Structure 1
């Protein structure tokens, strides 16, 4: 089973590599067959990654998101799903290149790590844990897309190039990515609070991961309101999307690498 999962992982990595390559070539050449090939490779990679995730879930008996390998694998899967959502809805093509590239980086960083699935500790053995973590990374993936769209908005405003979607569409997609990410992250916080109460008897703990997660939620709650304020629309909103993803990255990786936390997944 582990050998099959490893083979699938390398096949997924190869598919996403091919997609990034074809999207890069598509940017200057603008040939329809190039983006179709790239999109087909993303679809193939996502399908294989879904199979690999299902196999890991089946062999472990739970959604495997309890160590760095597993969370990066699941995060990359969520990023690919988010890209596919925007591609099917808006036909963004190579405009989603950053998210696919992030997916590739996440997968590449775990290829040499152990894919073993550790036993589940009792406090995590609940559907609330699965809902909390999966919704968290779903929100992170939409925030990553918002970051990408924010960068593209600022570039398009400066360059006014036909290689990128127009400003109105980029703004619309950015606001949608933030809103959907905020909805998923809100559900993540709700289920996480219920899980904490069931496991420890309180809804919120002042550990560093919990505090920064609350800050991320507050930041994106503010962004959901900022889109209605004229001075924050457009470039200001794009800049907030970039700053927000920095908070997300610090909450996800920075705390575990740089600080001490008593959060169960650190």
Structure 2
């Protein structure tokens, strides 16, 4: 028992330390853009933290004989692991350090909450309660956690988009909603895309004030197009997982309780979450809206996901005994 407790503490502390170091150096890399070491060191520490977290969860799975989602502590770590994998994939595709800078603090907060707030008894693996002794555990709970993680990433990207979008000039707001992509905007405005990257290399005092403003505003628009695109793509990926997870949960509920839907707090907020992101995708796919409107809806979705996943656990116990705080 002492060895198990020591192992939990060792893994938890290691993950927290590597995430903290990575977060700090991601922020340094944004401030000191010409120093590559900060960004490379931040990436290295985040990769190490991800590996340690993955090994920790895998070891609990092998040791206990069931998927490591038996309690709130394991689900928080599983959520953190998925967010780390998703952010690293987006960072690899976009080559942008901004995703690590905004997502790692969230993972740091989640793991810190799991290790510092939850008592040690809740962090130890225990025998599954009868309601969870089902093959549906891995199917339903893992899909829900996967959808939460992906939707949290997509909605957090939308929050960042919204913050930057609100700082645009009125003309730039109109430009953003008028063109389907940044390349289309650059061609229409006769802007050379290569010049947008040179703005950080060429001495600004050699440019006119109007040229500086044009390049900076164009660079901001390019960044916004990328954020809008990745927020939309991420939410589009998370929504099907949420849908399948809810359906799997309904089938499991009928098997366990004799009813597909009982309006349990978890079920109710899962439905609200589904409706929020369904409305977001409807605006994007059917209405063709981009920019502020869908971003506001996705930003609301960020908080709704957290209420669904964690918030209702503080309000009172329903049929979902899994993960409740006492």
Contact 1:19 1:41 in 2 (8 A): yes
Contact 1:95 1:164 in 2 (8 A): no
TM-score normalized by structure 1? 0.92
Match of 1:94 among 94, 98, 113: 98
CA distance in 1 between partners of 2:99 and 2:287 (Å): 26
Larger radius of gyration: 2
Match of 1:145 among 147, 153, 163: 153
Q: Deviations along 1:186-219, whole A, 9 cap, x unmatched? A: 1211221221122222222221211111111122
SS class of match (1:9)? helix
Match of 1:23 among 6, 23, 26: 26
Q: Deviations along 1:206-242, whole A, 9 cap, x unmatched? A: 2121111111112211211111355741111111111
In the alignment, is residue 154 of structure 1 matched against residue 174 of structure 2? no
Q: Deviations along 1:95-122, whole A, 9 cap, x unmatched? A: 3322211110111112243121121022
Give the unaligned 5+ runs of structure 1. none
Contact 1:135 1:184 in 2 (8 A): yes
CA distance in 2 between partners of 1:74 and 1:42 (Å): 16
SS class of match (1:166)? helix
Cα distance, 1:165 vs structure 2: 6.3
Equivalent in the alignment of 2:83: 79
Match of 1:5 among 3, 8, 17: 8
User: In structure 2, do the counterparts of structure 1 residues 163 and 15 end up closer, same or farther at CA, with 3 Å as the change threshold?
Assistant: farther
CA distance in 2 between partners of 1:77 and 1:92 (Å): 20
**C-alpha RMSD of the superposition:** 2.0
Contact 1:92 1:165 in 2 (8 A): no
Which residues of 2 match residues 167-182 of structure 1 at below 5 A?
167-182=224-239
In the alignment, is residue 196 of structure 1 matched against residue 253 of structure 2? yes
CA distance in 1 between partners of 2:244 and 2:156 (Å): 23
Equivalent in the alignment of 2:64: 60
Equivalent in the alignment of 2:268: 211
Equivalent in the alignment of 2:126: 118
Q: Deviations along 1:153-204, whole A, 9 cap, x unmatched? A: 1233216596896111111101011111101111211221221122222222
TM-score normalized by structure 2? 0.76
Contact 1:156 1:167 in 2 (8 A): yes
